[in-house]
Amino acid sequence: MPDSELGPIARPLRVAVVGAGPAGIYAADALAGQDDVAVAVDLIDRLPTPFGLVRHGIAPDHAKMRALRETLHHTLDHERVRFVGNVEIGTDLSLAELRRHVDAVVYTYGASGDRRLGIEGEELPGSLAATDVVAWYCGHPDADRALVEQAVARARDVVVIGVGNVALDVARVLSRAPGELVSTDMPQHVLDALAAAPVERVTVLGRRGPAQATFTTHELRELDTLTDATVLVDPADLELDPAAEEAMDRLVARNLAVLRGWTEHAGSPGRVSLRLRFHARPVRLLGTDRVTGVQVERTTVDAAGRATGTGEFDVLPADLVVRSVGYRGHPLPGLPVDERSGTVPHEAGRVLREGRPSPGEYAAGWIKRGPTGVVGTNKHDARETVKALLADAASGQLRPGGDADDLVETLLARGAEPVLLANWRAIDAAEAALGATQGRARTTLHERAALLAAARAAAAAG
Ligand code: NAP
């Protein structure tokens, strides 16, 4: 262990990582896996479960991607890392209190809010944020079941706004035949609601052209593998503006080749029509008591990639509108978050307060860089942040402070119920046991009470 300018380091550097999703786990892993600075990492999450969007964001029919949790679990098992779930910073413990307990904090709590469209009718019943739908089908304990299930129960015509991977996830899940979902870990009530949903048409709307869509080719191609749905594309929607033609990269070329292959498709009775529309900007959601349609304006894309309205309008019928236009980070009480970007101001992962690095505060993942990239992007991102933290430790700017009580003891003393690794293992086992009764590998426990009851079983077993 190196000595700092201020003398030998007496005890491991205590680091709290706030958010046990991929970014937090990768940050904990980068901290635990180095030998320059002795560390003790508390990996805190407000949910009783780890894995963030790997558990509550990656679509349940993406079993291979969800299996990433097995790899992430190795970090939870590391002797320098302690999982502390069911603890909300700002509620169970203030940020100031947390900072007194540890020497450094890494914020990795992501971007769980939704961006708004800012158009009339957005708040009508039947108009949902993709974050609501995703939380529901993944069994997030805070999901609003009634809100989503009332909308899904009458969803014959669905319009999904946005052409990112989340939009494709939602469109795909809603278009799947019930038999395609039974082996997932979706809660049973989600499977039942999806099986009963009267979905006939799903339209995915891009406000710009196919060259500007942010979905990836693998996710796009997958739409063509659905057993009961046909993907439809109008060839006129695939015409490229000259600037996009000029700037076409391999990703766009691959997406276009897939999309062009679908222009010959025709819908057939009994199958869901899954239509991808481009150059269609939502102008207004229609309806009085609830949403009945979406008014769209045809657009062209200018040389700068901006959509310009053409003044040509049409209306798409819709019983359910899903606004999939991106996630948004929220402030943690006591932490500055830029209003416009929804991210924490930072410099190479060091949190900035009033433009200057704030000692002992770091950020990684979506709250640092915004809601972009795949899960693996967070690995590189977290490493950059941890590198800054370790450099600060090496230079003596960051060093073990006083002898504050152990975080978990403080939490227990004030009646909080932290979920530690053994408790999480008990939840994990309970989900596997529930899945076994339904002939599948796992069923997600979706209620906080059920998660905590399962967690307590570990405590009872000693
Ligand atoms: P995203 O890729 O940023 O897509 C947002 C979409 O919303 C874009 O098509 C955007 O169009 C559109 N949009 C924004 N404002 C709009 C408005 N006012 N009206 C109409 N359309 C609007 O975000 P995301 O789909 O939420 O995904 C977030 C991240 O998670 C991405 O990095 C994604 O790749 C990743 N993810 C990956 C997977 C996977 O790998 N399978 C699955 C899910 C998510 P403009 O471009 O015109 O703004």
Rounded Cα gap, residues 294 and 256, in angstroms: 26
Contact 132, 56 (CB under 8 A): no
* 349 or 373, which is more confident: 349
Cα 64 to its chain centre, rounded Å, is 17
Is residue 445 lining ligand 1, measured as CB closer than 6 Å?
A: no
- Percent of the chain scoring above 70 in pLDDT: 97
Q: How far is the CA of 163 from the centre of ligand 1 (A)?
A: 6
Q: How far is the CA of 327 from the centre of ligand 1 (A)?
A: 8
Domain boundaries, the chain: 3-112+329-419, 115-326
Is residue 172 lining ligand 1, measured as CB closer than 6 Å?
A: no
Q: Which amino acid residue places its CA nearest to atom 29 of ligand 1?
A: 372
The predicted pLDDT at position 245 comes to 84
Is residue 109 lining ligand 1, measured as CB closer than 6 Å?
A: no
Residue 112 has pLDDT above 70, yes or no: yes
Q: Given the structure tokens 């996630």, which residue do they identify? A: 327
Question: pTM (2 decimals)?
Answer: 0.95
Rounded Cα gap, residues 426 and 48, in angstroms: 11
| pLDDT (tens digit per residue) in 406-448 | 999 999 999 999 999 999 999 999 999 999 999 999 999 999 9
Q: How far is the CA of 259 from the centre of ligand 1 (A)?
A: 18
Residue 228 has pLDDT above 80, yes or no: yes
* Count of beta carbons in the 10 Å neighbourhood of residue 309: 13
What radius of gyration, in Å, describes the C-alpha atoms of the chain? 24
The predicted pLDDT at position 458 comes to 78
Sign (positive/negative) of CA torsion 332, 455, 427, 461?
positive
Q: Rounded mean pLDDT of 78-88? A: 98
Residue 118 CA, closest ligand 1 atom number: 18
Our mutation pick for probing the ligand 1 site, out of 119, 207, 255, counting the most ligand atoms within 8 A of Cβ, is: 207
Q: Rounded mean pLDDT of 94-115? A: 95
What one-letter code names the amino acid at 268?
Answer: S
Residue 8 has pLDDT above 60, yes or no: no
Looking at the domain covering 115-326, what would its CATH class be?
alpha beta
Is residue 215 lining ligand 1, measured as CB closer than 6 Å?
A: no
Please report which helix (H) or strand (E) contains residue 460, including its range.
Answer: helix 448-461
Q: Rounded mean pLDDT of 53-62? A: 97
Residue 119 CA, closest ligand 1 atom number: 18
Residue 342 — pLDDT band, cuts 50, 70, 90? very high
Residue 389 — pLDDT band, cuts 50, 70, 90? very high
Is residue 326 lining ligand 1, measured as CB closer than 6 Å?
A: yes
The predicted pLDDT at position 403 comes to 67
Q: Is 295 exposed, middle or buried (0-12, 13-18, 19+ CB in 10 A)?
A: middle
Residue 3 has pLDDT above 70, yes or no: no
Q: How far is the CA of 115 from the centre of ligand 1 (A)?
A: 10
The predicted pLDDT at position 1 comes to 40
Mean of per-residue pLDDT scores for the chain: 94
* 302 or 363, which is more confident: 363
Residue 163 has pLDDT above 60, yes or no: yes
The predicted pLDDT at position 168 comes to 98
Is residue 294 lining ligand 1, measured as CB closer than 6 Å?
A: no
Residue 130 CA, closest ligand 1 atom number: 26
The predicted pLDDT at position 324 comes to 98
**In 3D, which of 43, 48, 41 has the Cα closest to residue 15?**
41
- By three-state DSSP, how is residue 387 classified? helix
Q: How far is the CA of 120 from the centre of ligand 1 (A)?
A: 21
Residue 377 CA, closest ligand 1 atom number: 32
Residue 462 — pLDDT band, cuts 50, 70, 90? low
Residue 5 has pLDDT above 90, yes or no: no
Q: How far is the CA of 324 from the centre of ligand 1 (A)?
A: 7
What CATH number belongs to 3-112+329-419? Answer: 3.40.50.720
Is residue 327 lining ligand 1, measured as CB closer than 6 Å?
A: yes
Residue 378 has pLDDT above 90, yes or no: yes
Contact 191, 444 (CB under 8 A): no
Residue 459 has pLDDT above 80, yes or no: no
The predicted pLDDT at position 2 comes to 46
Q: Rounded mean pLDDT of 333-352? A: 94
Dihedral over alpha carbons 28, 141, 101, 417 (to 10 degrees): -120
